[in-house]
Amino acid sequence: MGAHVFSLPDVGEGLTEAEILRWLVRPGDVVAVNQMIVEIETAKAAVELPCPFAGVVEELHAAEGQIVAVGSPIISVLGDVPAAAPGPQRQAVLVGYGVREDGPPARRRRREAPGTVEAPEAAVQEHQPMTTVRAKPLVRKLARERGIDISTVPATGQHGEVTRSDVLAAAGGVAMPPSVSSDSAGDRVPVRGVQRAMAEAMVQSAFTAPHVTEWVDVDMSRAMEVVQRLREAPGAADVRITPMILVAAGLIRAARLHPRINSTWVDSADGADVVIHRAVHLGIAADTPRGLLVPTIKNASALGLVDLARQVQALIDTARAGRSTPADLTGGTITLTNVGVFGVDGGTPIINPGQTSILAMGRVIDRPWVVAGQVVARPVMQLSFSFDHRVIGGALGSRALQSVAAFLQDPALALMMDDAG
């Protein structure tokens, strides 16, 4: 009998840590290969991890609610250990994520298979307590940028964490105001998992990409007629058809007409590049119990309206149920957000990191509209388009936004013209 140590794998691209939400086993429990043993929440989603070993649970190395770094031991399982083969050992890994050669790297690299442990003896020796330095990723990043060893920074956070003020003070910079004292009125709510990741992403985007936002009002009369016809179309009875489907189709069309809005700014040692994506992977912002998520419709330009509606419905329902996978939440090249469902007209949406534009759609509401010299009531929607001014100039951003508006003003005609072309 030997101890197998299972380390936290990387279940998504570039993730460095996860929170232990709930253990599904306890010490002394008998587990089988592929049995779900723990629920974790990463920056992308909440997922359950299967056990790659069979045996008896010896120890849980992380408590519920604890933040664990990728590659750190989370559970030990007693069981028969296969005889070690001569030469370098292969590491046990999470089923379905592949293997790599032994020896955890000094720095985890992108797109590698998840690291675990070598032979059981080495695994036991490598098991160390979790890092004693508590700090948010942005604080750690600030310390790295200032050349400061964060383990040497005195922590003044209420729960013993190193704060941004602490790092700035250690660097001789200007500190932020002190934290709110524990006896102040109000409740402190930890920001973790998806919510924390989204907050960090928005801060990164807002202070990295120079945002420009433009607005346009659209007469949705003909668009609403198309929505009604789609609802009555054969095979669409089980599909949720809303104006958002036409806005999504209009944005996809704009990305084809103006490819630069479907791109990524990439910094490099030699300067910077703009990667213009051939495929349109449309992100749909969804309000969920876990916070804002952006599931992605891959190759959205290849879908018809009804199929697009099905994909949107399925992804949003899955996200709200907490079942989105990391693959569902990555790879987007442009994003659509619907603020109209909250009864508002528009806003200044923040671009998702790795993208260069985002479109917000507002509510559809009757407003005065001039038609043939007469003021009449028309269903009107406001579109708000934010773009990265490093990549997209004002003229291009305006043309892209106007192309979405033109599509919505007469979507049937636009679709016929596209088919004819």
Domains present along the chain, CATH in parentheses: 2-126 (2.40.50.100), 133-150+162-175 (no CATH), 197-420 (3.30.559.10)
Q: Provide the residue type at 281 as one letter.
A: H
Among residues 127, 211, 258, 389, which one is catalytic? 389
pLDDT at 322 (0 to 100) = 82
pLDDT at 336 (0 to 100) = 96
Helix (H) or strand (E) holding 67: strand 67-69
pLDDT at 137 (0 to 100) = 61
Neighbouring residues of 125: CB distance < 8 A, sequence distance ≥ 6: none
pLDDT at 399 (0 to 100) = 97
pLDDT at 80 (0 to 100) = 60
User: From start to end of 262-305, where are the E strands?
Assistant: 263-268, 271-276, 282-284, 286-288, 291-293, 296-297
List, run by run, the mean pLDDT of 10-residue segments along the chain (421 residues): 83 72 90 90 75 91 87 87 40 41 43 41 39 64 78 77 79 52 62 72 82 96 94 85 95 96 89 93 88 90 92 90 84 95 93 94 96 95 96 96 96 82 57
pLDDT at 96 (0 to 100) = 38
pLDDT at 220 (0 to 100) = 96
Residue 389 annotated as catalytic: yes
Give the long-range contacts of residues 150-155, CB within 8 A, separation 24 or more. none
pLDDT at 67 (0 to 100) = 85
Report the sign of the C-alpha dihedral through residues 59, 64, 69, 70, in that order.
Answer: positive
Q: How many helices, marked H, and strands, marked E, lie in the chain?
A: 9, 19
